């Protein structure tokens, strides 16, 4: 197996999915409250794993403490489907979290889905540039405070799928991707945009992800999750079942 180590990443193992979600919510609140200079800029992941976290963040006790008014919410990726589609990551997030908290609508940035995936990726980059205040990523001035990521059964993360041209993108912050083994065209943050972050946190749960997590931790080259880096730190927040093969 070819690969490289991921020396800067750390792994935090908690008992189960509930503990993972509670710890992520607690830590996000701590980070958001600690951010004093400028907005707290976060990219959320989609799929099934973050659902429990979003429900916790929508609980009244949590929601009233979180500084929503100075939080800017982006999405790490989305399926290029209308917002009415059941597979839209944005719609899932709105239904479980955003509809239940006092976040100003202008602070929520769904990935557009009306045009071609390429045009919508370019539009999304413009939204990021507006919040960043520039179109060139400067080392030492990260685009995101926190990027949440998931990990798919094929080692994809965000919508960086194995074998796809998006993996070679070094200029654009956002690009389109057509996975060969998963539904829908996608629009996703690219490696350079993800790197421009203070913290990257993978949420990985369940025995079904144990083997893939172990392969990613060994740095298996063909797996997009193996290549995630950050200007700051990369953490795998995982339950005992997913950590089983580490
Ligand atoms: O398709 C996607 O998959 C990954 C992993 O999803 P999960 O259901 O295994 O949690 C997710 O992180 C990504 O946002 C989503 O678009």
Query: What are the backbone dihedrals phi and psi of residue 165, each rounded to the nearest 5 degrees, phi first?
Result: -55, -30
Pick the residue whose CA is nearest to atom 7 on ligand 1: 47
Q: How far apart are CA 191 and CA 229, in angstroms?
A: 8
| pTM score, whole prediction | 0.96
* Nearest atom of ligand 1 to the alpha carbon of 156: 4
Give me ligand 1 centre to Cα 37, in Å: 31
Pick the residue whose CA is nearest to atom 12 on ligand 1: 150
Strands (E), the chain: 9-14, 40-44, 71-75, 77-79, 144-149, 174-177, 186-189, 197-204, 233-239
**ipTM, 2 dp:** 0.98
> For every one of its 246 residues, what pLDDT tens digit does the chain have, with 9 covering 90 and above?
344 445 568 999 999 999 999 999 999 999 999 999 999 999 999 999 999 999 999 999 999 999 999 999 999 999 999 999 999 999 999 999 999 999 999 999 999 999 999 999 999 999 999 999 999 999 999 999 999 999 999 999 999 999 999 999 999 999 999 999 999 999 999 999 999 999 999 999 999 999 999 999 999 999 999 999 999 999 999 999 999 978
CB 225 less than 6 A from any atom of ligand 1:
no
The full set of domains in the chain, from first to last, is: 10-34+47-245 (3.40.50.1360)
CB 159 less than 6 A from any atom of ligand 1:
yes
Nearest residue to 168 via CA among 127, 224, 225: 224
Give me ligand 1 centre to Cα 77, in Å: 9
CB 179 less than 6 A from any atom of ligand 1:
no
């Amino acid at each position: 197996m070819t690969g490289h180590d991921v020396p800067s990443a750390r792994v935090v193992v908690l008992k189960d999915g509930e503990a993972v979600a509670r710890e992520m919510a607690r830590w996000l609140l701590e980070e958001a409250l600690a951010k004093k200079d400028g907005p707290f800029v976060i990219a959320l992941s989609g799929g099934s794993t973050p659902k429990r976290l979003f429900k916790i963040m929508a609980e009244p006790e949590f929601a009233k403490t979180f500084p929503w008014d100075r939080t800017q919410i982006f999405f790490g990726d989305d399926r290029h489907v209308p917002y009415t589609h059941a597979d839209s990551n944005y719609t899932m997030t709105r239904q479980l979290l955003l509809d239940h908290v006092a976040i100003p609508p202008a602070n929520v940035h769904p990935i557009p889905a009306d045009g071609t995936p390429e045009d919508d990726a370019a539009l999304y980059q413009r939204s990021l540039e507006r919040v960043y205040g520039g179109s060139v990523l400067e080392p030492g001035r990260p685009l995101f405070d926190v990027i949440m990521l998931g990990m798919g059964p094929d080692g994809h993360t965000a919508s960086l799928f194995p074998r796809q041209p998006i993996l070679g993108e070094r200029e654009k912050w956002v690009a389109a991707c057509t996975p060969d083994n998963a539904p829908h065209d996608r629009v996703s943050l690219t490696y350079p945009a993800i790197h421009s972050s203070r913290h990257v946190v993978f949420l990985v749960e369940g025995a079904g992800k144990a083997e893939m997590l172990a392969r990613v931790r060994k740095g298996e080259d063909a797996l997009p999750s193996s290549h995630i880096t950050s200007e700051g730190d990369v953490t795998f927040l995982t339950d005992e079942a997913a950590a089983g093969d580490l």
